[in-house]
A and B are shown apart, each in its own frame.
Chain A
Amino acid sequence: MSRIQGRFEALAKAKRKGLIPYIMAGDPHPSLTVPLMHGLVEAGADIIEFGVPFSDPMADGPVVQRSGERALKHGVGLKDVLSLVKQFREKDKTTPVVLMGYANPIEAMGTEKFAAAAKAAGIDGVIVVDYPPEECLDFSALMKKSDIDPIFLLAPTSTKKRIDEVARSGSGYLYYVSLRGVTGAANIDLSDVAAHIPQIRKATKLPIGVGFGIRDAESAKRVAQTADAVVIGSRIIQEIENGSPEDAVMRVKNFLKPIRQALDA
């Protein structure tokens, strides 16, 4: 059983909802990334979504963009991202790590080489934002062969036919984008989430994570009424950038704790 599947089964058994924080590798500094990852776990993270910096993050809002630009200033590339995960794995062998990024850095490394390196580093899943299932059949097969879950996005605009297609292609979990827009937008539509999740459940047995626009304990709790897990990214990055790097781990933990409590209440 994959670490991701195992984690969701344990959550379901305990009747708990998953908390999936997102941070960008190398932001604010590569030396802080591994401590931040451990901090996320201490604050109650079930899975970590780990951003791969890219120069042209089309699906991301200004907060994640800035975060990527800071990481790129330190020259953080995909190879460095994998080596950070390897370092994280020295102390944490149980928390699933899902890479999230864009296709070009992976293609530049070479998909075969990436699959081998990601497996060796202890990566559990990968979300390639600009790889819809039909454009990455070979890549998905390669990931599955390497015991890495290819995780795909669904959107409020996805048709029923599309939901079926995407549900068939993905593994690990499905990522439902909770709004029409980019990451970190403020216009999450909670009633839309409540309406769409049951539709997706009809098409899949995979757990469903919801992200894009979840900002606090209140929105997390409401989303978790229907979803299996909530993904929080931009607000964590804002915590990281609003203050000195030395206290970043503390700020992020303080931000996540009430959310964890709200999910468990």
Chain B
Amino acid sequence: MRMYDLPDARGHFGPYGGVFVAETLTAALDELRVAYERARQDPAFQAEFKYELKHYVGRPSPIYFAKRLTEKCGGARIYIKREDLNHTGAHKINNTIGQALLARNMKKPRVIAETGAGMHGVATATVAARYGMECVVYMGVDDVKRQAANVHRMGVLGAKVVGVESGSRTLKDALNEAMRDWVTNVDSTFYIIGTVAGPHPYPMMVRDFQRVIGDESIEQMQELAGRQPDAVIACVGGGSNAMGIFYPYIENTKVKLIGVEAAGEGLATGKHAASLCAGKPGVLHGNRTYLLQDANGQITETHSVSAGLDYPGVGPEHSWLKDSKRAEYVAVTDDEALAAFHELCRSEGIIPALESAHAVAQAMKMAPKMKKDAILLVNLSGRGDKDMHTVAERSGKKL
């Protein structure tokens, strides 16, 4: 593959990405683009970011050989990148630290965020506490109910959680509301977007802050297995954990990149969140990308057992990787993800987030069909403590 240098100066990945926002946000995005470009080339900023990742987040996160899972599947060796071991229990904190440091550089005392499952909200509340910033988190009221424990976590960290009543009352509506807040309070406020979506420079910036996952993986796989994996597998909602692990591998075309979307109750039922597998390109939340939409171009409601994948769009770089065939996107149902959740708990003693369980399920499908010396690397983007309620409910138990 030729040198990969996307996005272009205006944030385009082929036909995707860009800056599709009302004029009221143009100046704020220009300011952010300039500030980020400076930070990107500033050794002091990069050094502080690295220091925080090491001493506050606990990086590098290990890669672990899942021996018993591998034996059960009876094929390729399955390795797991343990993002679940990060402070706050998911990969989200890599990005919130980067953006909070940038907010501090830009002298913005207030940060806002949107959240679905609550993991990005918790990661934002955490760094806001760490750097002494005011923090407001927007969350659909349906998600507030589904994720009560995370709402409480944000509260104890000093953040204010605002329930969003409009639209489908989930992640996309929280994002709309956060954008509205940002437009109104642009001088004092930094909007910490949690995934590789939104207007430029967010998709690039969030990817850059998350690429540490892939950079570490390349070193660790060499040490552990003496070579790089045959395929890297990650779940995709907005797609930040996947972009983080994929990006450093893009030019190494011997490594397959496989993104796993939420097929919910099945792609045929319409109750899913698989924008790349079943959507069409369109414009939402400041960028052009694959979207789940009806014939009138209205964004449709999504479904997934995991709130973190429950989003009708996807980061524009994934849309480009799909069209250019550098990455392959598949979908895994709620039931398959739950089965993989239980399998990983019982065979490895690791409780994965339901989001990450989608990637595990895909590895379990692929491994038996591969040779025993083949290698799969699964990005375990988060831990599953937050999902105990959902898992209990699905098994007919009440906590």
- Closest Cβ of chain A to B313, distance in Å, is 10
By a CB distance below 8 angstroms, the chain B residues around A69 are 166-167
Q: Is B132 located at the chain interface by the 8 A CB criterion?
A: no
- Closest Cβ of chain B to A176, distance in Å, is 9
Q: Is B282 located at the chain interface by the 8 A CB criterion?
A: yes
B180 (CB) vs chain A CBs: closest residue: A182
Q: Looking at chain B, what size class is its interface with the partner chain?
A: 35 or more
- Closest Cβ of chain B to A81, distance in Å, is 10
Q: Known contacts being A155-B27, A162-B26, is A55 close to B183, with CB within 8 Å?
A: no
Cβ proximity bits A76-116 to B, threshold 8 Å, 1 near / 0 not:
01110000000000000000000000111111110000000
Contact (Cβ within 8 A) B23 A166: yes
By a CB distance below 8 angstroms, the chain A residues around B299 are 55-56, 104
Q: Is B21 located at the chain interface by the 8 A CB criterion?
A: yes
Contact (Cβ within 8 A) B297 A180: no
Cβ proximity bits A51-87 to B, threshold 8 Å, 1 near / 0 not:
0011111110110010001001000011100000000
A77 (CB) vs chain B CBs: closest residue: B296
Among A55, A65, A153, which residue has its beta carbon within 8 angstroms of that of B24?
A153
Among A59, A129, A157, which residue has its beta carbon within 8 angstroms of that of B186?
A157
Q: Is A8 located at the chain interface by the 8 A CB criterion?
A: no
Stretch at the interface among A9-17, A130-138, A227-235, A243-251: A130-138
Contact (Cβ within 8 A) A108 B282: yes
- Closest Cβ of chain B to A133, distance in Å, is 9
Q: Is B258 located at the chain interface by the 8 A CB criterion?
A: no
Q: Is B44 located at the chain interface by the 8 A CB criterion?
A: no
Q: Is B28 located at the chain interface by the 8 A CB criterion?
A: yes
By a CB distance below 8 angstroms, the chain B residues around A166 are 23
In the assembly, what is the distance between CA of A182 and CA of B22, in Å?
A: 10
Main secondary structure of the interface of B (DSSP, over half): mixed
Contact (Cβ within 8 A) B167 A132: no
Cβ proximity bits B12-53 to A, threshold 8 Å, 1 near / 0 not:
000000111111101110100000000000000000000000
Q: Known contacts being A130-B21, A157-B26, is A77 close to B298, with CB within 8 Å?
A: yes
- Closest Cβ of chain A to B176, distance in Å, is 5
Q: Known contacts being A58-B285, A157-B26, A162-B26, is A105 close to B297, with CB within 8 Å?
A: yes
In the assembly, what is the distance between CA of A158 and CA of B281, in Å?
A: 29
Cβ proximity bits B321-364 to A, threshold 8 Å, 1 near / 0 not:
00000000000000000000000000000000000000000000
In the assembly, what is the distance between CA of A132 and CA of B27, in Å?
A: 12
B177 (CB) vs chain A CBs: closest residue: A58
Q: Is A32 located at the chain interface by the 8 A CB criterion?
A: no
By a CB distance below 8 angstroms, the chain A residues around B185 are 180
- Closest Cβ of chain A to B185, distance in Å, is 8
Contact (Cβ within 8 A) A180 B183: yes
By a CB distance below 8 angstroms, the chain A residues around B22 are 58-59, 129-130, 153, 155, 177
Q: Is A159 located at the chain interface by the 8 A CB criterion?
A: yes
Among A77, A104, A177, A185, which residue has its beta carbon within 8 angstroms of that of B282?
A104
Interface centre among A56, A69, A154, A155 (most CB of B within 10 A): A56
Q: Is B197 located at the chain interface by the 8 A CB criterion?
A: no
By a CB distance below 8 angstroms, the chain A residues around B26 are 132, 155, 157-158, 162
Q: Is A181 located at the chain interface by the 8 A CB criterion?
A: yes
By a CB distance below 8 angstroms, the chain B residues around A53 are 298
Contact (Cβ within 8 A) B298 A72: yes
Q: Is B228 located at the chain interface by the 8 A CB criterion?
A: no
In the assembly, what is the distance between CA of A53 and CA of B299, in Å?
A: 11
Contact (Cβ within 8 A) A58 B176: yes
Q: Is A152 located at the chain interface by the 8 A CB criterion?
A: yes
Q: Which chain B residues have a beta carbon within 8 Å of chain A's beta carbons?
A: 10, 18-24, 26-28, 30, 166-167, 172-173, 176, 179-180, 183-186, 280-286, 291, 293, 295-299
Given A77-B296, A131-B20, A159-B30, 7 more contacts at CB 8 Å?
A: A58-B179, A102-B283, A132-B23, A154-B23, A157-B186, A162-B23, A162-B27
List the 3 closest A-B pairs by CB distance, nearest first. A108-B297, A77-B296, A105-B297
Q: Which chain A residues have a beta carbon within 8 Å of chain B's beta carbons?
A: 53-59, 61-62, 65, 69, 72, 77-79, 102-109, 129-132, 134-135, 152-155, 157-159, 162, 166, 177, 180-182, 185
> What are 10 inter-chain pairs, A to B, with CB distance below 8 A?
A56-B173, A79-B296, A103-B282, A103-B283, A104-B283, A104-B291, A104-B293, A130-B22, A158-B23, A180-B184
